[in-house]
Amino acid sequence: MVDAIAVPDRRASDHYSGHRLVEYARRTRRLIYALSLALAVIITTALPAEVYFNGKAVLEARAHTEARSVANTLSRFISRDPQLWMFHDDGLQAILADGVHDHEPGEAHDTIVRDRAGEEIFRSGTGTSGKSSIVVREQLHDGINPAGTVTLIYPTRRLISDTLFALAIGSGFGIALMVFINVLPLRAVNRLQNQIESDQQRLGAYATRVTLQSERLEAEVRARKAMEDTVAQAQKLKAMGTLLGGIAHSINNYLVPITTLTRMVRDDLPRDADSRADLDRVIRSAEGAGSVMRDVLDFTRTRDAADNVTDLVGSVARTIALAEAATPSNITVKQFLPDAACPVRLKESDIQTLMLNLISNASDAIGQDGGQIEIEIAEHGPFGVPLDLPRDLAPGAYVRLRVADNGGGIDAENLTRIFDPFFTTKRVGEGTGLGLSVTYGLVTGVGGGIYVHSDGRTGTRFDLYLPKLSGVEAPAVVAETDVPISKEA
């Protein structure tokens, strides 16, 4: 069952616009930094006075500034540290609301400054020296032009400390503002980033799930394809078997008179009759046809489950010994056979037939250059784990007979036809194309399965799964009364 895969489209687009939002937030933050900095600079410089480091602070009340505010500013400075401040006009005039005061240079004053309404603006302290002074110049012409200039002159020490103070206040305020302004958007940005990160994680998890599921799907598709192929092949072979079985039945019937009557006629002829040799040829041909038909029938046969029990291990070992004699010396046959007997429902002659077929095919695949054939019987996998059974096999206990060679391999196209009767890649006369068909028939006839693996380059492996009989069943001795006719040439 395949789970539905829900791909979160909406989240994906959120994820995308989230990135854009973060980018916007970053830009906004930079903008805010810049603005804050500018603000700090403005605040710092927008002191009530223009500050110079030559020891003079000049406060100018320009045309729009009323004398009152000038005076207020003055009084703010002075009231902070009144004893320090003195009027010292350096011969200039301080034009005040209540009249013009003339001061002697260096003279200490105890001056009350009033505005035009008579309100006291400030009162000077008890100044002593003329080192510091405030010069207030104001020109008032009947209130028409309130512009005026007030010049504050005060000590350098004071100037620096005031400047630093102003800077500190200004930048402190600027920084505070910056922080304040930044905190909210920053928190928003952080929230956004967290959201995006968790979305990314979720998306990553989705992606992993999707990948896993698609891998599982692919594996499923592959397995189903393989199974369909196997089933299709089995159906094809079954159809062929039915067809060939019918043909074989007819031909075998026709062969009875041909072989038997020909033999009788031959035996009736005088020993020296010329036509005896011809009849021998007829008999040989008929027997050849009979032999092919027997192979065909072996392929089509579904065996009676109860007819034979043979020890696979012993049979295979004996067949290998038999085959090794006929195998070229540059081919090594390695065998991995268990010690214990392994009963299967096949005749010894059947096991011999299929083993000889497989070994001869392997040795043909290896060819001139030499190589190796490995024959293995396994009742279970490594460390005693059960055999990994092909999916189309009926559940049950199986023993696996494996014959593998390191020859040239079989390409995919030929693999699909390898069990077809009369299919052969060998030259005419070298093979009938029935060997593997017979092997197939023998194995599937007892409810087993035969599987061939090859990458088309480096060897071929045949895996035969035969239903395993429990050890308690003693091999029954069955008289082989249906032994085929002898194959004399």
Partner 1 sequence: MAKVLLVDDDDDVRYTIAKLLTRAGHDVVEAENGRVALDRIADDIAVVVSDLIMPEVEGVELFAKIKAARPDMPVIVISGGGRIGAAEYLSSVHAMGAEATFVKPLDEAAFLETVARLAG
**Residue 215-244 contact track with partner 1, rule CB under 8 A, x = bound:** ---------------------------x--
Task: Out of 286, 403, 404, 442, name the contact with partner 1 by CB under 8 A.
Answer: 286
Rule CB under 8 A: say whether 189 interacts with partner 1: no
> Under the criterion CB under 8 A, does residue 253 sit at the interface with partner 1?
yes
Q: Least distance (Å) from partner 1 to the CB of residue 461?
A: 29
- Residue 487 Cβ, how far from partner 1 at the closest point, in Å? 10
Judged by CB under 8 A, the residue of 78, 153, 166, 248 near partner 1 is 248
How far from the centroid of its chain's Cα atoms is residue 333's Cα? 43
Shortest Å distance, C-beta 3 to partner 1: 44
Using the minimum distance from each CB to partner 1, give the nearer residue, 166 or 296: 296
Is the Cβ–Cβ distance between 376 and 335 less than 8 Å? yes
Does the footprint of partner 1 cover residue 251 (CB under 8 A)? yes
Cβ at position 226, least distance to partner 1 in Å: 28
How far apart are CB 290 and partner 1 at their closest, in Å?
A: 5
Q: Each residue of 302-333: b (16+ CB within 10 Å) or e?
A: ebeeeebbbbbbbbbbebbeebeeebeeebeb
CB 465 within 8 A of CB 361: no
Q: Does 325 bind partner 1 (CB under 8 A)?
A: no
Which of 38, 160, 207, 485 touches partner 1 (CB under 8 A)? 485
The CB-of-441 to partner 1 minimum distance in angstroms stands at: 10
148-153 and 56-61: which strand pairing? antiparallel
45 contacts partner 1 (rule: CB under 8 A):
no
Element (H, E) at 373: strand 371-378
Size of site (CB under 8 A) for partner 1: 39
Answer yes or no whether residue 1 interacts with partner 1 by CB under 8 A. Answer: no
- Residue 263 binds partner 1 (CB under 8 A): yes
Stretch that binds partner 1, among 109-117, 284-292, 366-374, 396-404 (CB under 8 A): 284-292
For the CB of residue 479, give the shortest distance to partner 1 in the complex, in Å: 9
Burial 199-231, CB ≥16 within 10 A → b, else e: beeebeebeeeeeeeeeeeeeeeeeeeeeeebe
- Given the rule CB under 8 A, which of 157-165, 182-190, 215-223, 251-259 is the region that contacts partner 1? 251-259
Of 70 and 296, CB closest to partner 1: 296
Query: Does 257 help bind partner 1 (rule: CB under 8 A)?
Result: yes
Span from 21-29, 104-112, 282-290, 356-364 in contact with partner 1 (CB under 8 A)? 282-290
Burial class of residue 345 (count of CB atoms within 10 Å of its CB; 0-12, 13-18, 19+) = buried
Residue carrying the six token digits 């994820």:
15
Residues 454-483 that bind partner 1 (CB under 8 A): 481-483
- Write out the E strands in 84-169: 94-96, 99-101, 112-114, 120-123, 133-138, 148-153
Q: How far apart are CA 466 and CA 256, in angstroms?
A: 35
Kindly state whether residue 276 participates in binding partner 1, applying the rule CB under 8 A: no
Selected from 73, 252, 327, 360, the binder of partner 1 by CB under 8 A is: 252
Contact 139, 130 (CB under 8 A): no
Q: Are 407 and 365 in contact (CB under 8 A)?
A: yes
Residues 287-316 that bind partner 1 (CB under 8 A): 287, 290, 293-294, 297, 300-304, 306-307
CA 75 to chain centroid, in Å, comes to 77
- Angle, vertex CA 155, rays to CA 159 and CA 64, nearest 5: 60
| Contact indicator for 296, 254 with CB cutoff of 8 Å | no
User: Measured between alpha carbons, how far is 44 from 57 in angstroms, rounded to an integer?
Assistant: 15
Pick 275 or 302: Cβ nearer partner 1: 302
CA 208 to chain centre: 7
Q: In angstroms, rounded to a whole number, what is the distance separating the alpha carbons of residues 36 and 34? A: 5
Interface ranges with partner 1 (CB under 8 A) = 242, 245-261, 263-264, 286-287, 290, 293-294, 297, 300-304, 306-307, 481-486
